[in-house]
């Protein structure tokens, strides 16, 4: 959907490396590599990590001297080589999305957008803002003006306002929450444009709306009659001051949404560990991976890990020893615990897309609470087996 990798290199540090001219190739001094075959080599995510860490003087792996990382063939490894490598990896690697929930919504005043953001937080789904190619102004929605744009559109069910940009596809999304304000008792015609732009015959559609007083029932009937829909669940009208708890109560009542979210974020039934941070005790269920099993063995005695703030979405610290990697392209969620580079544990309080090995997921904590516990800057975490 418009998702890209979130790379873990500070812009300031990268510019500094460029100014300093980067790093000479280990073991090669000023030798210039001129092999086109090496410059065109296919690289992996791990190559990006290795070169990045080398340039930041924190590489702790083996000998890199034989790696063909001089992509611009100037006898040095520097930020230009890293950028070329990243571009190649971005082109070659398809990020695996783990959400099959889409929240598509049109919001003129922001009320519907707020509800959509709540649904996104609750379900872990992706969102798409439906924007008019010709944006609606305040004058366009003057209810008392019978000739205003919105009045004219709502009076004519054949009008289809053009959408500024549509998703490339809805393939891969089983459930689509469809949000909109109620205009003159119905959905805005731009919602009809969106519905007629895709095939919903195999999808679950769940309408939601915002309004001062009008209900959702008329728009639900319009939607169901407009295009074939695999399954349309009962929608919900929300007032402008609806809370996240109000929205969560509704999504929980749907049943299927909660099941989808849990299926994608919860690990299988595995041992539970404790993570002590600043006097707070977090519990985490481990995934069924070799690395998670090895972590349990490591915790025969409590292990202290110094976690450093990184990227504005995670804390990362080095483990006493390396664990078995089984990396996959993952879009992380708050609470995820991942193995990075084989010997580093990462706790996410935000989201990132990269190649990790799953370790576990912190149980029963909101994103806001997790941020409060981890706080700003570096922290010390003590890992132990839950008794």
> Rounded to the nearest 5°, which phi and psi values hold at 353?
-115, 120
Mean pLDDT on 253-281? 68
Q: Which residues contact 384 (CB under 8 A, 6 or more apart)?
A: 273, 274, 276, 299, 302, 303
pLDDT at 327 over 50: yes
More confident residue, 213 or 359: 359
Between the two ends of the chain, the Cα-to-Cα distance in Å is 43
Altogether, the residues listed in the chain come to a count of: 387
Q: Which residues contact 204 (CB under 8 A, 6 or more apart)?
A: 174, 175, 176, 230, 231, 232, 233, 256
pLDDT at 232 over 90: yes
Q: In whole angstroms, how far apart are CA 180 and each of 106, 111, 164, 219?
A: 5, 9, 16, 10
For residue 22, what pLDDT is reported? 53
CA distance 282 to 386: 10
For residue 23, what pLDDT is reported? 52
Cβ 207 vs Cβ 219: under 8 Å: yes
How does pLDDT run across 114-124, given as a tens digit for each residue?
999 999 988 88
For residue 384, what pLDDT is reported? 93
Cβ 383 vs Cβ 303: under 8 Å: yes
Residue 27's pLDDT band (cuts 50, 70, 90): very low
Coil vs helix vs strand at 338: strand
For residue 11, what pLDDT is reported? 41
Share of the chain above pLDDT 90, in %: 44
Q: Which residues contact 269 (CB under 8 A, 6 or more apart)?
A: 285
For residue 196, what pLDDT is reported? 97
Mean pLDDT of the chain: 81
pLDDT at 372 over 80: yes
For residue 238, what pLDDT is reported? 96
DSSP code of residue 94: P
Of the ranges 12-16, 32-36, 254-258, 327-331, which is most confident?
327-331
pLDDT at 9 over 90: no
DSSP string of 171-227?
TT-SEEEEEEE-BTTB--HHHHHHHTTS-EEEEEEEEEEE-SS--SHHHHHHHHHHS
Cβ 173 vs Cβ 98: under 8 Å: no
Strand positions, DSSP E, the chain: 23-24, 76-77, 101-105, 126-129, 175-181, 200-210, 229-232, 236-238, 272-277, 280-286, 303-310, 314-318, 328-331, 336-340, 344-348, 353-362, 379-385
Cβ 37 vs Cβ 70: under 8 Å: no
Please name which of 294, 275, 297, 299 lies closest in space to residue 359, comparing C-alpha atoms: 294
How does pLDDT run across 53-109, given as a tens digit for each residue?
788 776 666 678 788 888 877 788 887 777 777 766 655 443 333 358 999 999 998
pLDDT at 138 over 80: yes
Coil vs helix vs strand at 37: helix
> What is the b/e burial string over 132-142, where b = at least 16 CB atoms within 10 angstroms of the residue's CB?
beeebeeebbe
Say how many CA atoms lie within 13 Å of 345 toward its Cβ: 27
Cβ 160 vs Cβ 134: under 8 Å: no
DSSP code of residue 13: H
Q: Which residues contact 257 (CB under 8 A, 6 or more apart)?
A: 101, 122, 123, 175, 206, 251
Share of the chain above pLDDT 70, in %: 80
Per DSSP bridges, beta strands 229-232 and 272-277 are unpaired
């Amino acid at each position: 959907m418009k998702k890209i990798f979130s790379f873990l290199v500070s812009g300031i540090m990268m510019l500094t490396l460029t100014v300093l001219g980067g790093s000479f190739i280990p073991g090669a001094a000023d030798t210039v590599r001129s092999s086109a075959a090496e410059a065109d080599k296919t690289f992996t995510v791990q190559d990006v990590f290795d070169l990045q860490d080398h340039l930041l003087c924190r590489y702790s792996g083996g000998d890199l001297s034989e790696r063909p990382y001089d992509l611009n063939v100037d006898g040095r490894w520097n930020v230009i080589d890293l950028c070329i490598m990243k571009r190649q990896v971005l082109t070659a690697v398809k990020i695996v999305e783990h959400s099959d929930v889409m929240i598509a919504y049109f919001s003129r005043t922001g009320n519907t957008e707020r509800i959509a953001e709540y649904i996104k937080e609750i379900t872990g789904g992706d969102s798409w803002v439906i924007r008019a190619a010709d944006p609606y102004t305040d004058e366009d929605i003057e209810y008392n003006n019978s000739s205003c744009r919105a009045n004219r559109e709502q009076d004519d069910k054949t009008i289809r306002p053009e959408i500024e940009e549509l998703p490339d596809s809805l393939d891969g999304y089983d459930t689509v929450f469809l949000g909109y304000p109620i205009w003159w008792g119905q959905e805005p015609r731009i919602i009809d444009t969106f519905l007629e732009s895709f095939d919903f015959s195999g999808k679950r559609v769940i309408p939601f709306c915002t309004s001062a007083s009008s209900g959702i029932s008329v728009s639900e009937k319009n939607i169901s009659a407009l295009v074939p829909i695999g399954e349309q669940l009962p929608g919900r009208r929300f007032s402008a001051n609806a809370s996240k708890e109000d929205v969560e109560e509704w999504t929980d009542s749907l049943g299927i949404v909660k099941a989808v979210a849990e299926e994608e974020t919860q690990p299988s039934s595995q041992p539970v560990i404790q993570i002590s941070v600043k006097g707070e005790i977090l519990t985490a269920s481990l995934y069924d991976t070799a690395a998670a099993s090895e972590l349990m063995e490591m915790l025969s005695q409590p292990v202290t890990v110094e976690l450093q703030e990184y990227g504005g979405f995670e804390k990362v610290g080095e483990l006493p020893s390396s664990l078995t990697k089984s990396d996959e392209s993952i879009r992380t969620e708050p609470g995820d615990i991942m193995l990075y580079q084989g010997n580093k544990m990462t706790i996410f309080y935000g989201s990132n897309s990269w190649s990790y090995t799953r370790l576990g997921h912190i149980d029963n904590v909101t994103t806001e609470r997790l941020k409060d516990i981890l706080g700003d800057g570096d922290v010390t975490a003590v890992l132990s087996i839950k008794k």
